């Protein structure tokens, strides 16, 4: 059966799965591979050193696929904030039709994108923030649970509750993000009213992901206890791979809560860029991954991964339908016996 949802219709894709923005992962090659496989690949804007570098990355991706692609732009606290306006201008000039926004209040960026008829998917970690994004004009909400890699916020609410809340309170369509890795989860998300799902960590463990093989192997070998939360004392909580560097940062944060300077040498993005792309050292830097690592057991191509997710989702839906039909039949038998 085709998995046709509001997400696939709005984005012009075949499978309701998005590869969300990821620093030092969301490059043209991975984005194109996901889109070619039927999902939506996303280039991470701020991974590119300058807006012009982003332009080149978008143009490279367009040469690799003619299918829809998106760009992520995340509004996060920084010692030296990037020139968001210049990055946004490139996105608009390059004719990108789908943007994933995330981070702080998007009140300036969502209306700007909407004036250029760009589909905006805003990622947020609470329904309160989702309602704000809805009011600002977001087309889709990507609701991000505590399970997610990166920044799950400060509310500690998982997707099981968040999705049910979205169904009750949102008027715009929504997708699930955080802890997603397989087709059964996609079927569950659809059952809870979602129009699709966003995956990050799962796409890191694919053939096309621009990561050192040691990082991919660490994801395969990990389990549900292989991540931890850091930076809570800075109100910038991040879920990361549990290694000796992460444990060191946690210890420093416990002794000196809120002291950014004390942990800054360990959490610099350049550290994990080197781990991802040069050394493959899984232990020497702080790098994001979600609890979905417990569900990662291989390193397939994006095409094989998405085909498998669709097949598993279809099987889960058919099984649920069979249970309903079987239950109806049993109830009919009981009612018939009662009438006799």
Of 204, 289, 178, the residue nearest 25 (C-alpha): 204
Task: Looking at the structure, tell me whether residues 49 and 181 fall in a common domain.
Answer: yes
Burial class (CB in 10 A: 0-12, 13-18, 19+), 72: buried
pLDDT in tens, 305-340: 999 999 999 999 999 888 888 766 555 553 444 333
Task: Looking at the structure, tell me whether residues 56 and 195 fall in a common domain.
Answer: yes
Query: Has residue 296 been placed in a domain?
Result: no
Query: Has residue 298 been placed in a domain?
Result: no
Task: Looking at the structure, tell me whether residues 198 and 284 fall in a common domain.
Answer: no
**Alpha-carbon dihedral sign for residues 286, 289, 293, 299:** negative
- First-to-final CA distance of the chain: 40
Query: Has residue 261 been placed in a domain?
Result: yes
Of 26, 4, 13, the residue nearest 199 (C-alpha): 26
pLDDT in tens, the chain (340 residues): 568 999 999 999 999 999 999 999 999 999 999 999 999 999 999 999 999 999 999 999 999 999 999 999 999 877 788 999 999 999 999 999 999 999 988 999 999 999 999 999 999 999 999 999 999 999 999 999 999 999 999 999 999 999 999 999 999 999 999 999 999 999 999 999 999 999 999 999 999 999 999 999 999 999 999 999 999 999 999 999 999 999 999 999 999 999 999 999 999 999 999 999 999 999 999 999 999 999 999 999 999 999 999 999 999 999 988 888 876 655 555 344 433 3
- What is the domain range of residue 80? 6-211+307-320
The number of domains in the chain is: 2
Query: Has residue 339 been placed in a domain?
Result: no
Q: Has this prediction a pTM greater than 0.85?
A: yes
Query: Has residue 293 been placed in a domain?
Result: no
Task: Looking at the structure, tell me whether residues 97 and 150 fall in a common domain.
Answer: yes
Strand partners, 71: 43, 99
């Amino acid at each position: 059966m085709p998995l046709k949802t509001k997400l696939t219709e709005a984005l012009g894709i075949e499978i309701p799965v998005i590869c969300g923005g990821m620093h030092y992962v969301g490059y043209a090659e991975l984005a194109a591979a996901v889109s070619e496989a039927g999902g939506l690949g996303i280039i991470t804007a701020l991974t590119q050193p300058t807006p012009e570098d982003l332009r080149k990355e978008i143009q490279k991706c367009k040469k690799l696929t003619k299918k829809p692609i998106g760009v992520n732009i995340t509004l996060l606290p920084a010692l030296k904030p990037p020139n968001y306006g210049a990055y946004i201008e490139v996105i608009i000039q390059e004719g990108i039709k789908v943007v994933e926004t995330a981070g702080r209040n998007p009140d300036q960026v969502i209306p700007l994108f909407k004036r250029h008829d760009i589909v905006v998917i805003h990622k947020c970690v609470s329904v309160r923030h989702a309602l704000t994004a809805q009011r600002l004009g977001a087309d889709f909400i990507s609701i991000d649970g505590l399970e997610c890699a990166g920044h799950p916020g400060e509310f500690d609410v998982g997707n099981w509750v968040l999705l049910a809340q979205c169904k009750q309170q949102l008027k715009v369509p929504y997708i699930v993000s955080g802890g997603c890795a397989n087709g059964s989860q996609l079927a569950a998300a659809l059952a809870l009213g979602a129009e699709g799902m966003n995956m990050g960590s799962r796409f890191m463990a694919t053939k096309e992901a621009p990561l050192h093989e040691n990082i991919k192997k660490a994801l395969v070998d990990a389990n549900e206890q292989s991540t931890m939360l850091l930076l809570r004392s800075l109100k910038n909580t991040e879920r990361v791979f549990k290694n000796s560097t992460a444990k060191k940062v946690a210890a420093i944060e416990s002794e000196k809560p809120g002291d950014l300077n004390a942990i800054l040498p360990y959490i610099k993005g350049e550290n994990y860029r080197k781990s991802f792309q040069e050394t493959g050292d899984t232990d020497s830097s702080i790098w994001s991954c979600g609890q979905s690592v417990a569900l990662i057991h291989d390193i397939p191509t994006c095409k094989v991964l998405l085909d498998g997710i669709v097949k598993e989702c279809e099987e889960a839906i058919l099984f649920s339908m069979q249970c309903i039909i079987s239950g109806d039949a049993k109830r009919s038998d009981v009612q018939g016996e009662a009438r006799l």
